[in-house]
Amino acid sequence: WKGRPRGWAAFFLAFAVFAARLCAFQSEDLAALSNHVKELMSQGRFEQAIPICERLLKAVPGNTGLLLNLGMAEQMAGHPEKAIPRFEEILRAEPNNVPSLSSLASSQLQLEQPKAAIAPLSKLVALQPANHVTRGMLAGALLSAGDLDQAAIQYRKLTAEAPADPKALYGLGKT
């Protein structure tokens, strides 16, 4: 092919067309897999979604959306200890990622680690101060961790928002 610029040009053109078709095929395949994961997750078939999520993540490493799906599938399948590092990785890239903060805290609470859940729950409450459920989780984690003063502060805020909430009243009474 020495001295044949047309030969090289034709070769590179053919290679570019092949590469474009391969990428399009992979993109369609990945989209189909992603839709299958959504379907499995909506059906509560979390264990079956895990290997597909792992396959997607290998194809598109570092994608926080795919990492979140994998972590959530692991958590919902009863493997919170595997999910925690996924959520922590997302939070290193996106510190205010609400679904990751919430899922991290839930996983830590599933593993009966209320002290570990306090930091992500505190951040969630700071990001969403009107979220009654998250504040209740924070109050409960603080109570379980033995921080009665901080738990009381959160329970007082909850009872101010919803004076008839029996869980908030009970928690306030325990503090």
CA distance linking residue 151 with residue 145, whole number of Å: 9
Task: Say what the pTM is.
Answer: 0.79
Residue-wise pLDDT tens digits, 35-60: 888 888 889 999 999 999 999 999 88
Q: If you average pLDDT over residues 138-147, what whole number do you get? A: 97
Percent helix, strand and coil across the chain, each to the nearest 5: 80, 0, 20
Residue 6: pLDDT band (50, 70, 90) is low
Is residue 16 scored above 90 in pLDDT? no
Structure tokens at 98: 């609400």
Residue 63, helix vs strand vs coil: coil
Residue-wise pLDDT tens digits, 76-126: 999 999 999 999 999 999 999 999 999 999 999 999 999 999 999 999 999
